[in-house]
Amino acid sequence: MHLQLNFKSGKPAYLQLAEQIKYAAATGVLRPGEALPSIRPLAEDLRINRNTVAKAYAELESEGVIETRQGKGCFVTENNSPLRKAVRQEIVSEAIDYAIVQAHHLQIPPEEFIELVKGRLEHFRTETEKPSTSKAGD
Amino acid sequence: MHLQLNFKSGKPAYLQLAEQIKYAAATGVLRPGEALPSIRPLAEDLRINRNTVAKAYAELESEGVIETRQGKGCFVTENNSPLRKAVRQEIVSEAIDYAIVQAHHLQIPPEEFIELVKGRLEHFRTETEKPSTSKAGD
DNA sequence: CGAACTGTCCTAATGTCATATGACAGTAAT
DNA sequence: ATTACTGTCATATGACATTAGGACAGTTCG
């Protein structure tokens, strides 16, 4: 697993870290039960404070992505598909929430929003597998 | 136009104000060219600082909702073309597409995605109805 | 037991955000 | 020009988030 921080992004280091690990867990790069890098070595490796890593891990634990045991380490949650599914939904929910907030700001009612979503979904369905799409906005 | 602030919401006063005015402008309660309340009287009326109102107005100007002229006042923008329905849908569609791509990346099927959207929509609906919160999340 | 590892808690320095105050600048009417 | 209105800017304060360092607690191995 490759972890990298962007200090110029303005996004807190502990959030970047949590996000990357969460993503790795959701996509299977990190398997359930697998141990995460220990707090201190990882912090040293990333040139950040141990507590920053600890905060990222705490965030992940509160989201149910990992499990930490004092004196032993941190591990990806064992629960096979059910919990990983929840994690995936969590990630997508963040993106959905962003879209919903945008819609609300632009005075687009929920029904119209749903229709928009269906429309876009249909649009993607007809284009099936195209390697387009990495326009990340942040 | 009725403006009211909720100091317990945890949301900044200047954002609440900006949002309400933006909504008024979008729904036609405030018509293009119409003058907004002057900064000082409005601030006094709402029992907040002038600069808090000024910040709300500055935010609205940066979004193109209003236009301010020093010494004269603030006015709703004459041509809010950016609020045209098609344009609004375009903007939101981008955010939706991003979420869809994420879902596809995480192998969440369309039906599940739709359900997620509905769930989040419901979540927001019930949240805005109950402004009493213990912890303000953003 | 002690040493070396694991995570955890407490507290402080720093930066940023929201807000408040005072001084300043443009406009209009007298 | 004066006066009274308009918005604007620089700055200070208080709250909170982020990060950092020291001391503490649980685990494992020798």
For residue range A20-34, list pLDDT tens digits in order: 999 999 888 999 999
Do A91 and B106 count as a contact with CB atoms less than 8 A apart?
yes
Listed in sequence order, the residues at least 6 apart from A87 whose beta carbon sits closer than 8 Å to its beta carbon are: A22, A25, A26, A63, A64, A65
- Predicted confidence at residue A55, as pLDDT, reads 97
Residue ranges per structural domain of chain A: 13-79, 82-127
Closest residue (CA to C1') to nucleotide D8 in the complex: B70
Cα-to-chain-centroid distance, residue B122: 19
Instruction: Report the residue of chain A nearest B90, measured CA to CA.
Output: A116
Residue B29 is given by DSSP the state: S
Domain B13-79 sits in CATH at: 1.10.10.10
For residue range A67-112, list pLDDT tens digits in order: 999 999 999 998 756 667 888 998 999 999 999 998 988 889 999 9
Size of interface A-B (CB pairs under 8 A): 103
- Predicted confidence at residue B130, as pLDDT, reads 40
Mean pLDDT for the stretch of residues A23-51: 94
Protein-covered nucleotides on strand C (Cβ within 7 A): 5-10, 17-22, 25-28
Do B99 and A102 count as a contact with CB atoms less than 8 A apart?
no
Task: Give the distance from residue B22's alpha carbon to the nearest chain A alpha carbon, in angstroms.
Answer: 8
Query: Which residues of A in 69-108 have their CB below 7 Å from strand C's atoms?
Result: 69-74
Per DSSP, helices labelled H in chain A are 13-27, 39-46, 50-62, 81-105, 110-127
Mean pLDDT of chain A: 88
For the ranges A9-18, A69-78, B103-112, B124-133, the lowest mean pLDDT is seen at B124-133
Q: Please report which confidence band the pLDDT of residue A136 belongs to, taking 50, 70 and 90 as the band edges.
A: very low
Q: C-alpha distances in angstroms, B45 versus A21, A57, B5, B7, B18?
A: 49, 46, 11, 15, 16
> Using CA atoms, how far apart are residues B106 and A125, in angstroms rounded to an integer?
16
Do B104 and A124 count as a contact with CB atoms less than 8 A apart?
yes
Mean pLDDT for the stretch of residues A108-117: 95
A91 touches B at CB < 8 Å? yes
Best residue of A107, A117, A123 to probe chain B, by most B CBs closer than 10 Å: A117
Q: Could you tell me the two tokens for A103?
A: 């819609």
Q: Please report which confidence band the pLDDT of residue B25 belongs to, taking 50, 70 and 90 as the band edges.
A: confident
Q: Is A128 helix (H, G, I), strand (E, B) or coil?
A: coil
For residue range B59-89, list pLDDT tens digits in order: 999 988 999 999 999 999 986 655 578 888 9
Closest residue (CA to C1') to nucleotide C18 in the complex: B12
For the ranges A39-43, A95-99, B78-82, B92-96, the lowest mean pLDDT is seen at B78-82
Task: Give the distance from residue A20's alpha carbon to the nearest chain B alpha carbon, in angstroms.
Answer: 14
Cα-to-chain-centroid distance, residue B31: 17
B61 closest-nt by C1' vs CA: D7
